[in-house]
């Protein structure tokens, strides 16, 4: 029984990581085809919300929630989805998909800093070494190149991606209380409902930049909405329950690998030597900060 749950957990997190790594390529493809960033997120989350509505109609009725629960769902959704995707969509518009995926991979580092300074958790010296290494790695990834006219936009995009990282960490803190009372699917659904409407308003400011959406665009939208935003978050929770944080975090380290390989293969993006070294340092730092035994998370 234990072996089967481990196999299930490993399969679940591998599929989630594959989808999340490739999501940067789909987002960049949509932006390169002329679809503005906020419009892209608005369409993506319209599909997500419709999917959740269908799920609750046919499979599960939402549980009763207090006004405090709704406020917490609202703010966590605003920070973890609205703010996160504002930073990410504008960041990907300005930088490369490969750089974006490498920077997002540093989220566990910032989560550990929150554990240290906010939750007062003890950290081993080897984990401190990982944190310092990650700072070096991020610097190498986001540093401007000599061609300032091009790299200035990349640098701003990379900084915006760091904003997405901080939004995700704050989202994790706000969501911590919710997981004790509600299912992961229900949390994701209500956070998506609350977080989607600002993108509908923001997309209207891009009206003059709207372009026709053709078949290949819808394929990317369905991939981002159904596989990356709905299925992958569910698979992440399944793997977290069956494997524990340490093993899952090790898998998360593969996101930039998938993102960079996919960017070079599908988008023909170039990666500088500094970025390759920085990405390898970030991955090494993530393994170092995970040098701690933890039991699987129960839900």
Each residue's pLDDT tens digit, 30-76: 999 999 999 999 999 999 999 999 988 888 888 888 888 899 999 98
Asked whether residue 133 is domain-assigned, the answer is yes
Report residue 203 as tokens: 């997309």
Report residue 115 as tokens: 């554990």
The ranges of the chain with pLDDT < 70 are: 1-3, 119, 123, 142-151, 244-247, 249-250, 253, 286, 289-299
Q: Are 101 and 267 in contact (CB under 8 A)?
A: no
Report residue 171 as tokens: 């989202």
**DSSP per residue, 83-118:** IHHHHHHHHHHHS-HHHHHHHHTTHHHHHHHHHHHT
Which residues neighbour 249 within 8 Å (Cβ) at sequence distance 6 or greater? 108, 286, 290
Asked whether residue 296 is domain-assigned, the answer is no
Question: Torsions phi, psi of 297, nearest 5?
Answer: -80, 135
pLDDT of residue 212: 92
The structural domain count of the chain equals: 1
Asked whether residue 107 is domain-assigned, the answer is yes
The CA distance from 54 to 59, in Å, is 8
Asked whether residue 72 is domain-assigned, the answer is yes
CA–chain centroid gap for 5, Å, is: 25
Asked whether residue 242 is domain-assigned, the answer is yes
Asked whether residue 295 is domain-assigned, the answer is no
Long-range contacts of 110-117 (CB under 8 A, 24+ apart): 110/165, 110/166, 110/169, 111/169, 111/172, 112/289, 114/169, 114/172, 114/173
Asked whether residue 294 is domain-assigned, the answer is no
**C-alpha to C-alpha distances, 63 to 69, 106, 245, nearest whole angstrom:** 11, 35, 27
- Size of the chain in residues: 299
pLDDT of residue 287: 76
Q: Could you count the other beta carbons within 10 Å of the beta carbon of residue 64?
A: 6
pLDDT of residue 26: 94
Q: What is the DSSP letter of 78?
A: I
The CA distance from 87 to 103, in Å, is 12
Q: Which of 229, 230, 251 minimizes the C-alpha distance to 239?
A: 251
pLDDT of residue 247: 66
pLDDT of residue 147: 43
The CA distance from 188 to 165, in Å, is 18
This prediction's pTM: 0.77
Report residue 69 as tokens: 């629960």
Q: Within 13 A of 159's CA, how many CA atoms are on the CB side?
A: 7
Q: Are 154 and 92 in contact (CB under 8 A)?
A: no
Buried b (16+ CB within 10 A) or exposed e, 165-180: bbbbbbbbebbeebee
pLDDT of residue 245: 59
Three-state secondary structure call for residue 295: coil
Asked whether residue 298 is domain-assigned, the answer is no
Q: Are 96 and 259 in contact (CB under 8 A)?
A: no
Could you list the residue range(s) of the whole structural domain that residue 223 is in? 2-289
């Amino acid at each position: 029984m234990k072996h089967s749950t481990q196999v299930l957990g490993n399969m679940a997190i591998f599929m989630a990581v594959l989808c999340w790594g490739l999501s940067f390529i789909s987002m960049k493809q949509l932006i390169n085809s002329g679809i503005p960033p906020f419009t892209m997120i608005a369409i993506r989350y319209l599909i997500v919300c419709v999917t959740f509505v269908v799920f609750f109609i046919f499979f599960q009725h939402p549980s009763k929630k207090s006004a405090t629960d709704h406020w917490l769902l609202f703010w966590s959704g605003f920070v973890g989805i609205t703010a996160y995707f504002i930073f990410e969509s504008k960041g990907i518009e300005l930088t490369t998909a490969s750089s974006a995926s490498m920077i997002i991979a540093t989220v566990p580092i910032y989560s550990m800093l929150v554990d240290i300074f906010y939750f007062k958790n003890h950290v081993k010296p080897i984990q401190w070494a990982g944190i310092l290494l990650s700072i070096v790695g991020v610097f190498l990834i986001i540093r401007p190149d000599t061609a300032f006219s091009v790299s200035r936009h990349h640098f701003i995009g990379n900084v915006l991606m760091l904003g997405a990282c901080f939004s995700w960490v704050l989202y994790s803190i706000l969501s911590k209380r919710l997981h004790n009372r509600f299912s992961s699917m229900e949390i994701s659904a209500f956070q998506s409902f609350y977080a989607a409407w600002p993108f509908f308003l923001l997309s209207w400011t891009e009206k003059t930049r709207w372009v026709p959406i053709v078949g290949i665009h819808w394929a990317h939208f369905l991939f981002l909405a159904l596989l990356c935003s709905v299925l992958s978050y569910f698979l992440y929770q399944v793997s977290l329950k069956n494997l524990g944080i340490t093993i899952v975090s090790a898998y998360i380290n593969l996101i930039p690998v998938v993102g960079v390989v996919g960017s070079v293969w599908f988008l023909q993006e170039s990666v500088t030597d500094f970025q390759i070294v920085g990405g390898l340092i970030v991955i090494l730092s993530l393994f170092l900060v995970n040098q701690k035994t933890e039991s699987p998370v129960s839900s």
